[in-house]
């Protein structure tokens, strides 16, 4: 099987999430197959199916380029980028302060 880098990244993220979910809930989901996109991945626990769609976000285009070039081991990958604007950082920080996010992060 020749998985693309994107598929490998999605699988690693999905597996880590499902490991956390299993620990947090006592479930026993296991990877079953890649999905039809969406979802990216499908996990199964007995007769229960868990479709997982992996989404990534970046501060800005520079951030995305740097991260993917490093993932591809591209020697031209930048080693740093400028900080995102304070407003962007504040929005991200505020999202993690929401009660629904704090509940999820407590289990991480």
More confident residue, 68 or 107: 68
Residue (of 74, 19, 71) closest to 50 by Cα position? 19
Q: What are the residues facing 45 on neighbouring strands?
A: 48
The C-alpha atoms of residue 60 and residue 64 are separated, in whole angstroms, by: 7
Domain ranges of the chain: 1-56, 59-108
Residues 6+ away with beta carbon under 8 Å from 48: 27, 29
Q: Dump pLDDT digits (tens) for 77-102.
A: 888 766 666 666 676 666 666 665 55
The confidence band for 45, taking pLDDT boundaries of 50, 70 and 90, is very high
Average pLDDT of 73-80?
85
Q: Is 73 left (phi over 0), alpha (psi -120 to 50) or beta?
A: left
pTM exceeding 0.75: no
């Amino acid at each position: 099987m020749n998985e693309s880098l994107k598929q490998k990244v999605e699988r690693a993220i999905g597996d880590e999430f499902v490991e956390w979910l299993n620990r947090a809930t006592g479930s026993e989901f296991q990877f079953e197959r890649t999905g039809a996109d969406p979802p990216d991945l499908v996990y199964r626990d007995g007769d229960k199916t868990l479709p997982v769609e992996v989404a990534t976000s970046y501060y800005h285009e520079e951030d995305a380029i740097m991260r993917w070039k490093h993932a591809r081991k591209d020697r031209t990958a930048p080693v740093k980028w400028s900080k995102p604007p304070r407003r962007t950082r504040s929005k991200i920080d505020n999202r993690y302060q929401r009660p629904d996010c704090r509940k999820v992060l407590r289990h991480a």
